[in-house]
Amino acid sequence: MKKYELLTIFKPNLDAEEVDKLIEKIGSVISDFGGSVESVDKAGRRKLAYDIQKFRDGYFSTTILSMPADKVAEFKRQLRLNDNILRTMFVEVSEKASV
């Protein structure tokens, strides 16, 4: 399994409990796809560099996860279907080369 980092920006009109439930739901989707969540970092509400869907700020969350490479496309599709997510950035974490 490969290691990935997921940055998620949630809509600012949600309260903290709803954001926590959405983060838990993302974790359960990762588990359903045969992956595992290593860590979750909730950065809280921050101002956006530019308006997204007429919102000026959003709740930021970073998740480090492991998932089979063949399940990544379906997982990204599941994230796009969620209306409470403004933006996501999904990148593969590579090991640093020792010099």
pLDDT greater than 90 at residue 59: yes
What is residue 97's predicted lDDT score, i.e. its pLDDT? 60
Domain boundaries 2-92, corresponding CATH code: 3.30.70.60
Q: Average pLDDT of the chain?
A: 92
Distances (CA, A) of 8 to 75, 94, 95, 96, 99: 13, 20, 22, 24, 33
Exposed/middle/buried for residue 61 (C-beta within 10 Å: 0-12, 13-18, 19+): buried
User: What pLDDT is attached to residue 95?
Assistant: 76
DSSP string, 13-61: TS-HHHHHHHHHHHHHHHHHTT-EEEEEEEEEEEEEEEEETTEEEEEEE
pLDDT of the residue at 99: 67
**pLDDT tens column, 70-99:** 999 999 999 999 999 999 999 998 877 666
Instruction: For residues 9-24, give the mean pLDDT.
Output: 94
